[in-house]
Amino acid sequence: MKLYNTRTKKIETFSPLNAKLVTLYCCGPTVYDYATIGNFRTYMMTDILVRTLRHAGYTVKFVMNITDVGHLVSDSDTGEDKMEKGAKREGKTAWDVSKFYTEAFLSDSKKLNLVEPDVRPKPTEHIDEQLAMVKTLLDKGYAYKIDDGIYYDTAKFPTYGVLTGQKLDELKEGARVEPNPQKRNPTDFALWKLSLDSKVSGKKRDMEWESPWGKGFPGWHLECSAMSRKHLGEQIDIHTGGMDLIPVHHTNEIAQSEASSGKSPFVQCWVHGQFLLVDGQKMAKSKGNFYRIFDIEDKGFDPLVLRYFYLTAQYQTFLNFTWEGMTAAKNSLTELRNHMRIFRADGRNALSGEKMEKINAFRDKFDAVIADNLNTPQALAVVWEVVKSNIPAPDKYDLLMYFDEVLGLKLNEITAVSATEIPADIQALAKKRDQLRKEQQFVSADTIRKDIESKGFVIEDTPQGGRITRA
């Protein structure tokens, strides 16, 4: 299997550290609000990666956290904690906000048929592990204390910035004007923040813990380092997230994990997904192009249509969300489901050697394109090649079910419709249409087809005549 690795900036053949188990970590949502369809594009990429690895025979331990504390509004360790901000907005505690949006996230994930991670750790449940990591970094001389917390000294870590390919000096220049003059370098970041910052929000923090350095809360970057170590070990195979996490969050995770364990690399292969755009622009509340799963459902779309839509672009390319694009995805998925019904209803015949070869070739082609850096648009192209091919219907059905292990479009939930379920009047119309087609009266035959479709049925022409199924 080939994957683009942000660390080496190359497409590489993936091979896990331990042949028996692939360890994979994905940065999960910060549960202060609903996740957007942009966020879900990144989780979808991770889902396809996990499914593809399992489909190829690997055992995967998949961990995706739920960030429920410490993710600040600004990357420069100032400003409010997103969770506390959400609590103020809704007049609830940060704990209640976390509970509500975690449930919403799990429900949306289910609707998109995203694979369940093996572990969904929360930083609020891993305070001891995070404190231990801060202590190790202090003991090893990688961290220092200033008035508002414990910070990581990025100048002490020689390979800081390896993911972006920038040197520390370049990163320092690009960093924002430093609000805390006590920080040694503009790129230094908080490992543990002291609660005195809660004055910013004008109220006491809902989430805070005792520590050897004073009451406070963990930094967002520290959470992923501590939880990935706890659940996957000091060195892991794959780490995923959106492109925007490369310069700060993932850069800082590497610095913390490698400095505390003394092992490098922390992650063998970093996989980053490109952004979802809306009408060609970045998604933003101010632009009114900010969609959640319920916005998709409100417009009458099954969330699995969004899943199909995501599959139409390879994860490293921008994907532009439009309602026209969603309608096209809906039509394709509906057509695919209708075909599945027909394929499933068909009886099985003996296979010729030539058809057997074709089936194997389709299977190999699908496996090859998906293993080629997760080329989902090519994988969909193979789906349609199979649909249009001349292999027997039950074999089409079996192949598409095999592909669906990766695509996750729930094609198994299509129930076969037998001829007896088609009402007699519809069957009579179909018979009449067959006769007209035999007589080459195609215009009249088409009028009947439209009539049949308007009554909620689909007709497909086969050498044996029109085959009807429920739409």
Q: Catalog residues that contact Zn ion under the rule CB under 5 A.
A: 27, 224
Q: Is 42 in the site for ligand AMP (CB under 6 A)?
A: yes
Distances (CA, A) of 98 to 90, 102, 204: 12, 6, 17
Out of ligand AMP, Zn ion, none, which partner does residue 224 contact, by CB within 5 to 8 A per kind? Zn ion
Rounded Cα distance between 435 and 249, Å, is: 67
Q: Please list every residue from 211 through 230 that binds ligand AMP, using CB under 6 A.
A: none
The SS3 call for residue 318 is coil
Min CB(290)–ligand AMP separation in Å:
10
Q: Give bridge partners of residue 63 from the DSSP assignment.
A: 25, 119
Out of Zn ion, ligand AMP, none, which partner does residue 372 contact, by CB within 5 to 8 A per kind? none
Rounded Cα distance between 308 and 268, Å, is: 30
x/- map, 267-296, ligand AMP, by CB under 6 A: ------x-xx------x-------------
Nearer to ligand AMP, 30 or 338 (CB): 30
239 is in an annotated binding site: no
Give the binding range for ligand AMP (CB under 6 A) out of 35-43, 253-261, 420-428, 454-462. Answer: 35-43
Residue 169 CB coordination number (10 Å): 11
One-letter amino acid at 415 equals T
The SS3 call for residue 49 is helix
Give the binding range for ligand AMP (CB under 6 A) out of 211-219, 241-249, 287-295, 447-455. Answer: 241-249
Nearer to ligand AMP, 83 or 283 (CB): 283
Site size for ligand AMP (CB under 6 A)? 15
Among 121, 219, 242, 303, binds ligand AMP (CB under 6 A): 242
Min CB(224)–Zn ion separation in Å:
3
Distances (CA, A) of 190 to 52, 69, 71, 396: 36, 14, 11, 55
Q: Identify which of 107, 114, 116, 49 has the alpha carbon closest to the alpha carbon of residue 293.
A: 107
Q: Identify which of 63, 195, 69, 200 has the alpha carbon closest to the alpha carbon of residue 130.
A: 69
The helix (run of H) or strand (run of E) holding residue 185 is none
Min CB(318)–ligand AMP separation in Å:
9
27 is in an annotated binding site: yes
Min CB(266)–ligand AMP separation in Å:
17
Tokens 């070739």 appear where? Answer: 361
Let me know: does 448 contact 434? Beta carbons within 8 Å.
Answer: no
Which residue positions form the known binding site for Zn(2+)? Answer: 27, 224, 249, 253
Kindly list the residues in this chain that would bind ligand AMP in the complex (CB under 6 A).
27, 29-30, 38-39, 41-42, 241-242, 244-245, 273, 275-276, 283
